[in-house]
Structure 1
Amino acid sequence: MIYKKRDGILQIKIFFVGLLIGSSYLIGDTIYKSFIKRHKELNEVISILEIIRMDLAFGLYTLEEIFYRASLKKDYCLCEFFKNMQEDLSKEDGKTLEEILNKNIVEVKKTTNLQSGEIDVIKKLFLTLGQSDIESQQRLIDLTCENLKKLTGDSKEEIIKKGSLYKKLITFIGICIGIILF
């Protein structure tokens, strides 16, 4: 009878230790995937900016139309942002571009893994669109793309260094806690 009770307690301990280790692995994997997602999102932003630069080169599109064309890229992280920007610009409620941008940039912060510095760079770029000649705007977009490309290099290093480290470290901590509890 005593052995059955011990066996039952041992099985419960093993179950909870396994659950703890599995949970710690999943937490580490989630953190690792957030680093990967940020890198992917930075590349998507660069692609969208290049599309916007090409649209500006034709000079036939308004800012509203450029945002609409960017919103058609449904698999990109900022498609909803561009759709909302286009819809807000089409309304004639007297709001400035900065007010519309501030409203919509909040959603970008919530729905993406982009860091605040990267979002600020994008915000500053969009605030300057339409305020100078086409060549200046294209150069500004090119400069922003180059800066974002440098950040993608940094994010790739973060995936290798920090992402892998967090994944392994949190799993190791889960194993250690499991051993201590066992």
Structure 2
Amino acid sequence: MKWLGAILIIITCTWIGFELAKRISNRPKQLRQLKVGIQALEAEMVYGLTPLAEASVRLSKQLGYPVNLLFERFAHKLELKGESAHVAWEQSLEETWSLTSLLKSEREILRQFGQTLGQHDRDQQQKQIKLTMVHLEREEAEARDNQIRYEKMVKSLGFLFGLLIVILMI
């Protein structure tokens, strides 16, 4: 019975380590998806003259989970609830944030981006999008760096922590 408990503790701690490592590896992917989404939104708005809600619906079908939910809920709030772009973006961020692997710094970048949505003419909007892209690229580089540096370590630490608990219990 003791051995079964020890094995369960090791398996659980290893699983936790793998889940934390998964969050570390998902962050650069989600940042890339956000960059693609914002660039596509820029193209739709500036060159295609597509309304924000319609462009967001298209993007939600093209992007992967959970970034697609952000654009889907944004479009929903713009279309059905008639919210302003800033308020709709803020609420969509709030609703979908817990599903992402992103950090507070990325949230602040996206909040600032949302504050400019629909507030300026096309040229100013394009400048704001480019500024957001620069910030997201910086965050993505940091996320890739962290992934290389910490992903394997977190996996190993999960297993080793479980082993430590078992040794201390025996």
Q: Which residue of 1 aligns with 2:37?
A: 48
Q: Which residue of 1 aligns with 2:80?
A: 91
- RMSD across aligned positions (CA): 1.9
| Paired residue secondary structure (1:72) | helix
1:61 aligns with 2:46: no
Structure 1: distance between partners of 2:133 and 2:25: 19
2:60 to 71, 79, 85: 71
Consecutive unaligned residues in structure 2, runs of 5 or more: none
Contact 1:44/1:77 (8 A) holds in 2: no
1:164 CA displacement:
2.5
Q: TM-score, normalised by structure 1?
A: 0.83
1:59 CA displacement:
4.7
**Rg comparison, structure with higher value:** 1
1:45 CA displacement:
0.3
Q: Which residue of 2 aligns with 1:131?
A: 119
Closer, same or farther: CA 26–76 of 1 in aligned 2, 3 Å: closer
Structure 1: distance between partners of 2:64 and 2:97: 18
Contact 1:59/1:134 (8 A) holds in 2: no
Q: Which residue of 2 aligns with 1:157?
A: 145
Contact 2:86/2:116 (8 A) holds in 1: no
Q: Which residue of 2 aligns with 1:25?
A: 14
Q: Which amino acid aligns with 1:50?
A: Q
| Paired residue secondary structure (1:75) | coil
Structure 2: distance between partners of 1:98 and 1:139: 17
| Paired residue secondary structure (1:130) | coil
Q: Which residue of 2 aligns with 1:105?
A: 93
Structure 2: distance between partners of 1:73 and 1:59: 17
Percent identity among equivalent residues? Answer: 23
1:37 aligns with 2:26: yes
Structure 2: distance between partners of 1:102 and 1:150: 22
1:74 CA displacement:
4.8
Closer, same or farther: CA 56–99 of 1 in aligned 2, 3 Å: closer
Structure 2: distance between partners of 1:35 and 1:90: 34
1:147 aligns with 2:135: yes
Consecutive unaligned residues in structure 1, runs of 5 or more: 1-11
Q: Which residue of 2 aligns with 1:175?
A: 163
Closer, same or farther: CA 111–21 of 1 in aligned 2, 3 Å: same
Matched residue count: 170
Q: TM-score, normalised by structure 2?
A: 0.88
Structure 2: distance between partners of 1:123 and 1:44: 17
Structure 1: distance between partners of 2:81 and 2:14: 51
Closer, same or farther: CA 92–148 of 1 in aligned 2, 3 Å: closer
Q: Which moved more, 1:155-164 or 1:30-39?
A: 155-164
1:43 CA displacement:
0.8
Q: Which residue of 1 aligns with 2:69?
A: 80
